[in-house]
């Protein structure tokens, strides 16, 4: 016990040195009376939203048209209250960091937060119609899939696109911060990184999914299918006269209707357009536009194979190309 306590008297000094950095390195701590959106509450709100979008798949069993209205009504009521608090915090944070703090403060943020919340909840029927098309695209596009229930339970692509579509609506309604929180949670859960600012049409299918990156200003049309490892990214980051990154211009590609992009392909640049009904093969690197009805693929690489049978058993063993 004495050996365990030998250096414990150093802890107050360590604490003091850590606290000192909260002033000297003040960019990575939030010591403010106004709280940030609470991560746990945002994710609970997301789970409630997914339960409303896909009732009967996760929490509550035995739902039918006779009782689902009561269940969803309770969820909507609690979701309304939770979202107002978290959206109000996000709006207040934006006001602080932008230097546009309203004299009335939190009251105005709460009023705006309620308007946003009601508008978001009113969009749920349209979100369900859109997600039904995404689920159908997954079923239609994967011969290994047996039914739509399998898509909803098992496909990370649908999970990622569901979270993206919620976050995208919040972003369009003017909510800061929270859309990125949602999409980064989905990124952690699925390995699929979709920025909430991207624009994605209907019947969108991400097959397998891990490693997919879709940048903020990407535009994707209808009936597009992409595979794992695809990157729709920026070619460069232009800067202004002071050397600061210009954040408002289009940096990511446009993918038109009915395009298929196979695994590990990279498409970069805000001026890059992949024309409708095109196919981009595996491991392609593209930084220029492609006309409609075009197939882009690498030349078939040469394979080198080695016969591992010992020479004593196979005197003809050698390298083959």
In CATH, what class is 32-191? mainly alpha
State the chain's mean pLDDT as an integer.
91
- The CATH number assigned to the domain with range 198-321 reads 2.160.10.10
pLDDT for the residue numbered 101: 60
- Condensed to tens digits (0 to 9), the pLDDT of residues 272-289 reads 999 999 999 999 999 999
pLDDT confidence band for 309 (50 / 70 / 90): low
Which residues neighbour 123 within 8 Å (Cβ) at sequence distance 6 or greater? 169
Is the pLDDT score of 319 beyond 60? Answer: no
Task: Over range 79-106, report the average pLDDT.
Answer: 82
Please state the domain extents for the chain: 32-191, 198-321
**In terms of Cα–Cα distance, which of 185, 78, 74, 203 is closest to 130?**
203
Is the pLDDT score of 316 beyond 70? Answer: no
- Condensed to tens digits (0 to 9), the pLDDT of residues 234-268 reads 987 777 777 787 777 899 999 999 999 999 999 99
Q: What's the whole-model pTM score?
A: 0.88
pLDDT confidence band for 321 (50 / 70 / 90): very low
């Amino acid at each position: 016990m004495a050996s365990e306590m030998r250096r414990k008297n150093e802890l107050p000094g360590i604490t003091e040195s850590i606290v000192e950095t909260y002033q000297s390195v003040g960019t990575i701590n939030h010591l403010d009376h106004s709280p940030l959106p609470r991560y746990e509450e945002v994710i609970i709100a997301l789970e409630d939203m997914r339960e409303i979008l896909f009732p009967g798949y996760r929490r509550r069993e035995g739902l039918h048209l006779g009782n689902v209205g009561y269940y969803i009504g309770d969820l909507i009521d609690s979701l309304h209250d939770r979202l107002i608090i978290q959206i109000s915090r996000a709006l207040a944070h934006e006001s602080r960091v932008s230097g546009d703090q309203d004299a009335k403060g939190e009251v105005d943020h709460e009023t705006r937060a309620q308007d946003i919340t009601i508008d978001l909840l009113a969009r749920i029927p349209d979100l369900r119609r859109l997600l039904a098309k995404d689920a159908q695209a997954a079923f239609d596009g994967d011969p290994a899939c047996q039914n739509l229930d399998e898509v909803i339970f098992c496909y990370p692509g649908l999970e990622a696109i569901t979270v993206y579509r919620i976050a995208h609506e919040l972003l369009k309604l003017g909510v800061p911060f929270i859309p990125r929180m949602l999409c980064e949670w989905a990124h952690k859960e699925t390995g699929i990184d979709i920025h909430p600012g991207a624009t994605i049409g209907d019947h969108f299918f991400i097959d397998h999914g891990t490693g997919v990156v879709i940048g903020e200003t990407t535009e994707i049309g209808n009936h597009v299918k992409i595979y794992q490892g695809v990157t729709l990214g920026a070619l460069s980051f232009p800067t202004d006269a002071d050397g600061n990154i210009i954040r408002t211009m289009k940096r990511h590609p446009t993918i038109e209707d009915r395009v298929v992009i196979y695994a590990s392909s990279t498409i970069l640049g805000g001026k890059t357009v992949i024309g409708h009904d095109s196919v981009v093969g595996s491991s392609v690197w593209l930084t220029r536009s492609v006309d409609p009805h075009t197939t882009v693929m690498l030349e078939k690489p040469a394979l080198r194979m080695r016969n591992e049978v010992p020479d004593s058993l196979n005197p003809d063993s050698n390298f083959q190309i």
